C-alpha cells in the first residue's frame, strides 16, 4: 500500500477490502471504517485495494466450486434414497437447474 493512505489514517488495503466485501452498501462500509463514502470510493479505486478485492472474489469462487461439488454429490445420494418423495424432490432440483443452465448457455 502506498504511504499516502496508510500515513493519513492508518487503514490497510485489506481492511478497506474486507469492509467493502462484508457490508451491504458503500455507506455501511464507510461508517465501519469511519470515513466518508467519497473517501471510500476513492480508496476502492486504488490498485492495491482492487488487488485485495480480486483475491477475495477468487477465494469466494473457489469456495463455491467446492460447495458445488459437495452439493452434486449430495444430490446423487438423494436420488438413491429409499424414500420416493426424497427422490422426486432431488429430481425436481436437478431438472430445474438444468433448465436454468440451458437458458444461460448457447448450444452449438
Domain ranges for the chain = 3-104
- Cβ contact 14:52 at 8 Å: yes
How much is the average pLDDT of 56-73? 93
Q: Which of 1-5, 89-93, 95-99 has the highest mean pLDDT?
A: 89-93
Angstrom CA distances, 104 to 29, 39, 87, stand at 33, 38, 26
- Cβ contact 44:23 at 8 Å: no
What are the φ and ψ backbone dihedral angles of 25, each rounded to 5 degrees? -155, 165
Is it the case that residue 92 has pLDDT exceeding 80?
yes
How much is the average pLDDT of 35-53? 94
Q: What is the end-to-end Cα distance of the chain in Å, rounded?
A: 46
Other residues' Cβ atoms within 10 Å of the Cβ of residue 78? 17
- Confidence at 7, pLDDT banded by 50, 70, 90: very low
pTM higher than the cut 0.85: no
Amino acid at each position: 500500500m502506498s504511504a499516502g493512505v496508510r500515513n493519513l489514517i492508518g487503514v490497510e488495503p485489506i481492511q478497506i477490502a474486507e469492509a467493502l466485501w462484508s457490508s451491504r452498501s458503500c455507506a455501511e462500509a464507510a461508517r465501519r471504517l469511519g470515513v466518508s463514502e467519497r473517501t471510500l470510493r476513492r480508496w476502492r479505486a486504488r490498485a492495491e485495494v482492487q488487488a485485495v478485492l480480486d483475491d477475495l472474489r477468487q477465494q469466494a469462487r473457489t469456495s463455491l466450486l467446492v460447495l458445488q461439488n459437495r452439493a452434486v454429490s449430495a444430490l446423487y445420494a438423494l436420488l438413491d434414497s429409499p424414500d420416493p418423495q426424497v427422490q422426486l424432490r432431488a429430481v425436481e432440483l436437478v431438472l430445474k437447474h438444468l433448465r436454468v443452465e440451458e437458458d444461460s448457455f448457447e448450444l452449438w
